[in-house]
Amino acid sequence: MKRVIRVLGIFLIFGLAAGAMWFVQSGKWKTTTLKEVYIEKPEGDTLWVINGQERTEYKVKGAVKEKTYEGIADLEVRGKCVRKIVCKPDKAKGVEQKEETPETIRVLLTTTDFAEKEHDEVKVRSEKPFVVKAGESEKRCEGGEELCIRAVDMSAETITIHSAEEAKLEITSIKRGERIPSYRGTLELKKNGKKIRIINELPLEQYLYGVLPSEMPAEYPEAALRAQAVCARSYAEKQKQNNRLKEYDAQVDDSVAYQVYQSQPEDERANKAVDDTKGLVVCSGNILASTYFFATSCGVTTSSDSVLFTNKEISYLAGQVQSTDISDAKKGERDRLAADTYAEDDLFCEFLEKEQDLLEKEEPWFRWNMTISLEQMEKNINERLADRCDKTPDRIEVRKGEGLYEKGRVENIGKLKRVVIKKRGCGGVAQTAVIVGSEVTIRVTSEYNIRMLLFSREAVIRRKDGKEVTGLSMLPSGFFRLKRIGGAYEIQGGGYGHGVGMSQTGARQLANMGKNEQEIICHYFPGVSILSMSQIGS
């Protein structure tokens, strides 16, 4: 069966094979045979290729010839992006080899404190000379010179900035903590009304130099850093496929919504971990795995569907108890306890209080507690509720009768009367909470929403190591219990982060036990393999 598709005004005719096409590309050359490939309808200059279960976006670049072929198509790609489709296997073998260029990634840079995706103004400087290009005009700025750009002053829709000597570019209008971040690669400034979007395009491996020390302390053991590097690379590649930021012409941003990038300076130890694992990714079968990671577990991890990262259970993202004995012989018991036992409220609360031989039991965030008055929690709920309704409309419901809830937007619950955790997911993570107010009763779904609402910025959190912490924006994790004491709630919990995938402090503990990066990754993502990107799809 042949398909006829129009791309950029040119007709393409597809059978089981396709004509020669040129696309934006990155990464290494490889050829893969596609036995069940088909092409979806393009959206503008975007083309989607489906091979088995994998759906990948490609950007058309240049002319496309109209040709019809028979037989099996060979897809020649760099990284995960199509260079061209070759009509026959014998021709694919004889394709002229091109000079390899590194695979790149496009990072949307947010404002100070990761507050906004668009900037009022952009200030750039570098130690070395840098070049600013706007349309056909080009300007050279000397090292140490600061350039200030405002949207109203932009004569071109896009301005690109790159160093003339491969030095880093500082954006002095952004702060990450007390430091000014500096960036490799190219800065692309896009005008959007009175705002400016900043996209940092750079080689993916260099992007990881900026991710690793921002996501894991560089003083962690080498094996833990290498495990983090492989997971971070896999996550980045997966996000490139998902393309959730295509409206911004970017693939990831630099905040916790993706991977934190350039919040800490580069570190030689982290760079070495990236270099030592160059091109390696985590795969389930022959498909990129979703390598979620978080700071610290409470002694048990949860499943991706329990926190609504996915709408179904994924075998390598199932929760398990994090005991010090990680042998395969104990895996079944660890899985059963996480999936069944600790999903029961009473048993999970008992688990939080019971001393056990768990991998991260000495970590500061392994256990924590806090007390929040009803007035503080009520204030927080009423301040944040409308925003949570707008951002997750399917996960906030209003009580309409006995056991009956309907989706609805709520701005204020009135006076807070009580809160009940109604459902726990794998590992005991809070999945559903009912909040009773004087004006309305709501049912809240997802650990993230629950952590955001059942909190107060005024709260003081006491960690296992005795340190008191303030300034958080939500509960440290969704693994907690509520206990009403007079006009307040005592909250006892454990862990820091969503609890899916790899615990970073757990990875450190495993590395200290002598485990290598492959053993660490396969512990947290059971059943996966570690492959080179050049092996994906081959």
Count of domains forming the chain: 3
Are 202 and 126 contained in the same domain?
A: yes
Q: What is the pLDDT of residue 164?
A: 84
Residue among 222, 224, 151 nearest 190 (CA): 151
Mean pLDDT computed over every residue of the chain: 82
Q: Is residue 475 part of a domain?
A: yes
Q: Can you give the three-state secondary structure of 62-112, one letter per residue? A: EEECCCCCCCCEEEEEECCEEEEEECCHHHHHCCCCCCCECCEEEEEECCH
Residues 110-164: tens digit of each pLDDT: 999 999 999 999 999 999 999 999 988 999 999 999 999 999 989 899 999 999 8
Q: Is residue 419 part of a domain?
A: yes
Are 35 and 129 contained in the same domain?
A: no
Most confident of 3-12, 105-114, 325-334: 105-114
Q: Is residue 288 part of a domain?
A: no
Tell me the C-alpha distance between 45 and 244, whole Å. 17
Last residue of a domain, one of 93, 116, 142: 93
* Pairing relationship of beta strands 293-294 and 502-503 according to DSSP bridges: parallel
Residue 376 burial (CB count, 10 A): 18
Are 85 and 143 contained in the same domain?
A: no
Are 114 and 195 contained in the same domain?
A: yes
Q: What is the pLDDT of residue 337?
A: 66
Are 202 and 262 contained in the same domain?
A: yes
Which of helix, strand or coil describes residue 171? Answer: strand
Q: Is residue 223 part of a domain?
A: yes
Are 145 and 84 contained in the same domain?
A: no
Top-confidence residue, 239 or 332: 239
Are 87 and 153 contained in the same domain?
A: no
DSSP string, 441-467: EEEEESHHHHHHHS--TT--EEETTS-
Check: CB of residue 338 under 8 Å from CB of residue 495. Answer: no
Last residue of a domain, one of 93, 123, 158: 93
CA pseudo-torsion sign 270, 272, 273, 275: positive
Q: What is the pLDDT of residue 43?
A: 42
Last residue of a domain, one of 493, 508, 531: 493
Top-confidence residue, 417 or 73: 417
Burial tier of 38 (Cβ tally within 10 Å: 0-12, 13-18, 19+)? middle
Tell me the C-alpha distance between 374 and 455, whole Å. 10
Q: Kind and range of the H or E element at 471?
A: none
pTM for the model: 0.78
Q: What is the pLDDT of residue 74?
A: 38
Are 79 and 118 contained in the same domain?
A: no
Residue among 146, 185, 194 nearest 167 (CA): 185
Q: Please, which pLDDT band fits residue 310 given cuts at 50, 70 and 90?
A: confident
Are 182 and 248 contained in the same domain?
A: yes
Residues 236-282: tens digit of each pLDDT: 999 999 999 999 999 999 999 999 999 999 999 999 999 999 999 99
Most confident of 170-174, 308-312, 335-339: 170-174
Are 392 and 465 contained in the same domain?
A: yes
Q: Is residue 99 part of a domain?
A: no
| Residue 460 lies in domain | 364-493
For residue 372, give both structure tokens.
């929040």
Tell me the C-alpha distance between 468 and 491, whole Å. 14
Are 368 and 479 contained in the same domain?
A: yes
Are 60 and 121 contained in the same domain?
A: no
Residues 71-99: tens digit of each pLDDT: 333 343 333 333 333 333 333 333 344 44
Tell me the C-alpha distance between 333 and 378, whole Å. 40
Tell me the C-alpha distance between 190 and 192, whole Å. 6
Q: What is the pLDDT of residue 324?
A: 85
